Amino acid sequence: MDKNKEIKNKVIEIYTGIADQTKTENANSCCGVGGCSTVDHEVFAEDYSKIKGYNSDADLGLGCGIPTEFAQINEGDTVLDLGSGAGNDCFVAREIVGATGKVIGVDMTPVMIKKARINAEKLNFNNVEFRYGEIEDLPVSDGSVDVIVSNCVLNLVPDKEKAFREMYRVLKPTGHFSVSDVVLKGDLPLALKNDAEMYAGCVSGAIQLDEYMGLLEKVGFKNLSIQKQKVTILPNEILEKYLNKDEIDLYKQGEFSILSITVYGERVD
């Protein structure tokens, strides 16, 4: 099987399991899928509880930032959320765009789409829709979106350059994005890089910060900036599954690090 397809299938498998659980259940298991696996998604999660538009049914604790906080969304905008999950960021964005705006969520996990649609129906929103599709081939028209947000998802995409080109394509000529993601600084040990479950847990799918910013610039985005950045601390029980003692010491000394960032960029034609 094609390596990229294999990765996507693993991501879908893991997030299908997560979709059937509450945020509390995800937090109480090692990776959000029950049993005790290798990834703690809650390591990256932010607290949404005090944000307007927050809906607890849509919060599975899977993000690594709050992209809507920095996205400069205006009333009446069309907002696209990449990897929308159960709809958490979409509903926050809908609070900002109001009844005159529109929010589109795209996700490649069918059960997440189903869960998000149920949540939207409960909220009686008729201007929030969820579409099945992949970020590398978005089911969205050219130049139709004012703002793109995404939360800890682009790192899961095998072909990031293609995904970034799709973002550029669907944005209006005056549009912009604000995405939260996981990137690396320094060389991550191969054991972390190669494990498929760590990939779905947002770590080994991540690329170097400089490469990430370089790809965004390559596809044409302008005025790039990092709006927020923090070092993510993985607990010892996760590190010990992948690294030997010397590698753990190097990690704790900062020789390599895992960063949560929120990045901003504009399409300027």
CATH number, domain containing residue 171: 3.40.50.150
Say whether 187 sits in a helix, a strand or coil: coil
DSSP 36-51: --S--GGGT----TTS
Total domains, the chain: 1
- Summarize the confidence of residues 110-115 as an average pLDDT: 93
More confident residue, 112 or 50: 112
- Summarize the confidence of residues 195-220 as an average pLDDT: 78
* 176 phi-psi bin (left φ>0, alpha ψ -120 to 50, beta other): beta
* Contact status, residue 60 vs residue 109, Cβ threshold 8 Å: no
* Contact status, residue 184 vs residue 118, Cβ threshold 8 Å: no
pLDDT in the model for residue 190: 74
CA–CA separation, 124 and 231 (whole Å): 38
**Residue 149 host element (H or E):** strand 145-151
Q: Does the structure show a pLDDT above 60 at 1? A: no
pLDDT in the model for residue 151: 92
DSSP 46-89: ---TTSTT--GGG--S--SS-GGGTS---TT-EEEEES-TTSHH
- C-alpha separations of 136 from 40, 47, 119 in Å: 26, 29, 26
CA–CA separation, 50 and 180 (whole Å): 19
Highest mean pLDDT of the ranges 8-17, 135-144, 200-209: 135-144
- C-alpha separations of 145 from 2, 142, 166, 173, 266 in Å: 32, 8, 12, 9, 12
Enter the tokens of residue 18: 């997560």
Say whether 182 sits in a helix, a strand or coil: strand
35 confidence band (pLDDT: 50, 70, 90): very low
254 confidence band (pLDDT: 50, 70, 90): confident
pLDDT in the model for residue 263: 97
Per cent of the chain over pLDDT 70 is 78
Q: Which residues 6+ apart lie within 8 Å of 228 measured at CB?
A: 65, 70, 180, 260, 261, 262
User: For residue 131, how many C-alpha atoms fall within 13 Å in the half-sphere facing its CB?
Assistant: 16
Partners of 67 in beta bridges: none
The model's pLDDT over 52-92, given as tens digits with 9 standing for 90+, comes to 777 766 666 666 788 999 999 999 999 999 999 889 999 99
The domain containing residue 155 runs over which residues?
3-266
CA–CA separation, 228 and 95 (whole Å): 22
